Structures are given as structure tokens and as C-alpha cells.
Structure 1
Amino acid sequence: MAELLKPTKTNPRGIPEAPFIDKVENFIKNPESDFDKVMQAFQDRLQQYKYMELSKRQQLGNLKVKIPDIEKNLEIISHIQERKENDVEDDEENVIETNYEINDTLYTKATIDVENLNSVYLWLGAEVMLEYPIDEAISLLEERLQNNKESLAIVKEDLEFLKENITTMEVNTARLYNWDVERRKNMRITEERTKNLKI
């Protein structure tokens, strides 16, 4: 039964395209022995697609949180660099007062001495924070932003592909089920006719 679902095409990430059942008879040669196996194979593939979809939706959610965070960090660090490069004589102009987030709903004020600030700390994930010179921090954040935006486009493309294939597999499963119901109904009618002829 595995050859029935052997992919002829995949998307660029290797997700197999679902076959479309045009004629059930082409998939099921011997209904008594093959139907349950074919139905199970199709339902298994459908569940695989749904699992992949769930995984991709989680990735999408993570990226939708990461991208604005990176953009926010990039914006403030770029602003600091701009202020440093303008080299203002006035001491008050060399100080930035800002609010920053400590927790989801807790903020506090910070005073940044732009003139003496040469590096920033960035969270890299997994409880790791590193110090970077400002220009390196900007380069790193720009690169991460670009990579995350590319990942977002790929995840959206994969989700669309999975959605189409889930629909195809749901239609296939319904067609298999309806075909079997019709086949069994015809068998009963034939058996009843045969019985009536014998009487």
C-alpha cells in the first residue's frame, strides 16, 4: 500500500504532494482485502499533514513574535548609533531617557549616556546574552531580521501547500468511504435478487 502514496512531486522542503483519486478502482483492485489498508494509508497521510501543519503554525507564531522584537531592538540601537555619530556638544543631547520592559506588564525608566556607550548586550536565546559593539549588533540584528523574514515566507508557503494537500486527502478519504458504501449497497441488492430468484 505504501506505493499508492509514493510522492511523484514534493515542495522545495520535501513535503510530498497528495495523490488525487480520480477512480477508486485504480487504487483498490481487490475490495475485500485492500479497502481497509488503502483507507488506513490515506488516513495516516492525512494525520501526517495535519501534524506538519500544527508544527508550521507554531513556527509561524514564533516568527510573528521574533520579528517585531528584532525590529524594536534594531530601531533603538540604530537610534543610539545615530546620536553617537551626530556628536552633539550639549551634554543633555548626549543622554537618552527611555522606558524599557522588565516583564510583560512592568516597565522602568533608563538613562543612556550615548557618548560613553560603545556596546550593547543582546539576548541570543537559550538564556545566553552577549556583548557586541554597536555596529556589530546592528549587523547581527539586520542579518537575523532578514533570515526570519525569509523563514516567515517559507513557513507561509508550506502552510498553503499543506492546506491544499489536507483538502485533497479529505476529499480522497470521503470518496473512498462513499465508494465502499455504494459497493456494499450494490452487493446487498445483488444478494437479495439472487435469493429471490432461488425462491
Structure 2
Amino acid sequence: MSNEIRSGEYVNPRGIPQAPFVETVEDYVKSRDQVEGILQSFQEMLSKYKYMEMSTLRRAAGLREKIPDIQKTLDSVIFLDSKRDSENPTLITTFELNDTLYTKARVKAADTVYLWLGANVMLEYPIPEAVELLQTKLKAAKDSLAICEEDLEFLRENITTVEVNTARVYNWDVQKRREEREEKDASAAIK
């Protein structure tokens, strides 16, 4: 086994490498001189995993916030589409202008809707295209959230592995130091 720290053979589909698991510290660390470098490498690896975890948590939180908005918009467009063919195509509704400001509106049946796409861009879509677009966006957001959750689980497992490796190498070093000190004390007592 090599003395340098290498990640495991497996890399998840998003390119996150798996942390190596140190089964036998004696096979992994050839001498006590290497311990400091190995522990430092583990700390760097742990920092990278924690950074990826925080980034993935932020991305997942954004998706969790975005999915209900997309679903609400999709439901509204589907409802408007259902009103087009009804006997009373005009709809009187209350809608939100701001967080605490609402107003009443009369909405006539239409063949198109306007959707905010982001970056101050609004486009007009025929209702069937709007439904298709929103369904695609909703599915993509849900798929991305599932990927984030999968990556978070993978990262948490690897963080635990690196922490266990760190503890095992550190404890091995402490034990070796104690053995060396006991050998010195024993040889000093014999003299």
C-alpha cells in the first residue's frame, strides 16, 4: 500500500471521490515520521468534503424553495386552461402583489400566459407550451433535488470515514509514542 493518501477507487456520478478507509493503520503508516503529513492530508480532505457538503446544502435549499413556486405556477396555468373551455370563462380572483398586499382581479380566458423566466425576463407562451415548460422545469428541479440528497448522503459517509481515519491514525501515533517512552523508561531503569 502506498504511503501517500489517495481517495478510494470509486467516484460518484458527479465526480466526488470516495475517501479511502484505513483498515490497518500499521499497513497504512510505515513510520511515525509520516503521521503528521497523513493527518494533514486527512484534514485537507475533510475540509474539501465539508465545503462540498455546504455547497450542496445551499443548492438543495434553493431547490426546496423553488419547487413549490414552480408547482404553484403550473397549477395556476392548468387552472386557467380549464377555465378556457368552461361556460363562465371570466375568473375573479385575489392575487398577491407583495408579501402583505393583495388585490382583486378579473381574469378573462386567454390562449396565452406570461411566465417569468428569471433575470427580469418574461415571455408569452401558449398555454399548452407553458404547461409543458413548467412540467419540464418541475421535473428537472425534483431530479436535481434528488441528486443533491444523494450527494449529501455520499458526502456525509465520506466525512465520517475521514474522521474515523483521522482518529485511528492519531490514536495509533499516541500508542506508538507511549510504547517508545515505556521502552526508554525500561532501558533507563536497567542501566
How does the TM-score come out when normalised to structure 2? 0.93
Counterpart for residue 20 of structure 1: 21
2:91 counterpart SS class = strand
The separation in 2 between residues aligned to 1:113 and 1:80, in whole angstroms, is 9
2:5 counterpart SS class = helix
Cα drift, residue 2 of structure 1: 8.8
Counterpart for residue 95 of structure 1: 90
1:60/1:156 contact within 8 Å kept? yes
Counterpart for residue 69 of structure 1: 69
- CA RMSD in angstroms comes to 1.6
Counterpart for residue 85 of structure 1: 85
1:196 aligns with 2:181: no
1:164 aligns with 2:165: no
1:52 aligns with 2:47: no
Counterpart for residue 151 of structure 1: 144
| CA distance 1:50–1:2, shift in 2 (3 Å) | farther
The separation in 2 between residues aligned to 1:177 and 1:106, in whole angstroms, is 60
2:94/2:104 contact within 8 Å kept? yes
Cα drift, residue 125 of structure 1: 1.7
Cα deviations by residue, 1:82-133 (Å, 9 ceiling, x for unpaired): 11123x2xxxx2211222222233322222011xx23222111222222212
2:3/2:29 contact within 8 Å kept? no
| CA distance 1:142–1:2, shift in 2 (3 Å) | farther
- Unaligned ranges ≥5, structure 1: none
1:9 counterpart SS class = coil
The separation in 1 between residues aligned to 2:149 and 2:107, in whole angstroms, is 39
Cα drift, residue 79 of structure 1: 0.7
State the percentage of identical aligned residues: 47
Counterpart for residue 108 of structure 2: 113
| Residues 3-12 or 177-186, more deviating | 3-12
Aligned length: 190
Counterpart for residue 122 of structure 2: 129
Cα deviations by residue, 1:14-39 (Å, 9 ceiling, x for unpaired): 1111111111122211212x111111
How does the TM-score come out when normalised to structure 1? 0.89
1:2/1:41 contact within 8 Å kept? no
2:122 counterpart SS class = strand
1:181 aligns with 2:174: yes
Cα drift, residue 153 of structure 1: 1.1
